[in-house]
Amino acid sequence: MARNDWQIAWYDTVAETYDRLAVPHVFTQPAKDLVALLKLRPGARVLDVGSGTGVAAFLALQSAGPGAAVVALDASPGMLRLARAKGLTRLVVGAVPGLPLPDAVFDGVLANFVLSHIPSYQTALSDMVRVLRPGGRLGVTAWGPGQSESRKLWQATADSFVSKEQLSRGLRLALPWEEWFSDAGNLEQAMRQAGLESIEVHHREYRTSMTVNDFLSMREVTVQARLMKQLLATPQWERFSEKLTKEFHSRRRGLVQDTRDAYLVVGGKSDA
């Protein structure tokens, strides 16, 4: 199975858990802030690239109001089925680069924590700029370098089962630009090289609380957990899960406070 094929199959498999836990606790607030920064006009045409279950697309639809047309694009049919259940009707199975859409049709384009997954972010950004009309705005997000104590505990436990280098190598393949884009300067430079103007960079911190069980369930649908499952035999994975549960319940007393920082970057396409 090719790299993209297993990723798509995996996202299909984890879609419900992702939507139930990761969307409200991790992705909704950054998406809300990014949509606000786009300053969509009433009735705008918007494309949400890597839409997942549609959180940013739905927020853009609310922001642009009556007459708006919002397209949710994702490579995972399973994710898009849940987006449809939320009331989104313009759904496209596809990926970037290679957007199956004409030039210069959207007032706004969103890519919420998407760029780090793409082997060629330069080509992806160029393709997103292509479908943006002159004067339109492109908004992207990327995680900053900060990690909560709970995430550090999860990672330290993982490192006790799999070598750090082995896991890092797998992460670099799955998320080739995650570390690169944790530097705001690199993200701004990428947007500028794509030909965008009037670039704004915003740094935000997001906090959430959830039960230990929900936090561990949410972590099971991350790329790191997917890699751990690939690297460990089933008995080892079960011991890893048992150790995580024991460590978190003993240290967190049933509740996890999770914090992440993110960069939100918006730029405009020249109307010349």
Domain that holds residue 13: 3-147+175-208+259-269
pLDDT tens-place string over residues 72-110: 999 999 999 999 998 999 999 999 999 999 999 999 999
Span 151-186, pLDDT tens digits: 999 999 999 999 988 888 989 988 999 999 999 999
Q: What are phi and psi of 79, to 5 degrees?
A: -65, -45
Tell me whether residue 113 is in a domain: yes
Q: How confident is the model at residue 1 (pLDDT cuts 50, 70, 90)?
A: very low
Tell me the pTM: 0.94
The enclosing domain of 139 has a CATH number of: 3.40.50.150
* 165 part of a folded domain: no
Residue 84 resides in a domain: yes
What value does the mean pLDDT take over residues 199-217?
A: 96
- Largest Cα span, the chain: 61
Count other Cβ atoms within 10 Å, centred on residue 42.
10
Q: How far apart are CA 250 and CA 136, in angstroms?
A: 51
Q: How far apart are CA 15 and CA 23, in angstroms?
A: 10
- Residue 130: how many other CB atoms lie within 10 Å: 18
Residue 161 lies in a domain: no
Q: What pLDDT shows up at residue 253?
A: 79
- Computed over every residue of the chain, the mean pLDDT equals 94
What is the full DSSP assignment across 184-218? HHHHHHHHHHTTEEEEEEEEEEEEEEEEHHHHHHH
- 236 domain-assigned: no
Q: Examine residue 78 and state whether it is found in any structural domain, yes or no.
A: yes
Number of domains into which the chain is organized:
1
Is residue 261 within 8 A of residue 204, CB to CB? The reply is: yes
34 burial (CB, 10 Å; 0-12 / 13-18 / 19+) is: buried
Is position 65 within any domain? Answer: yes
Whether 33 maps to a domain, the answer reads yes
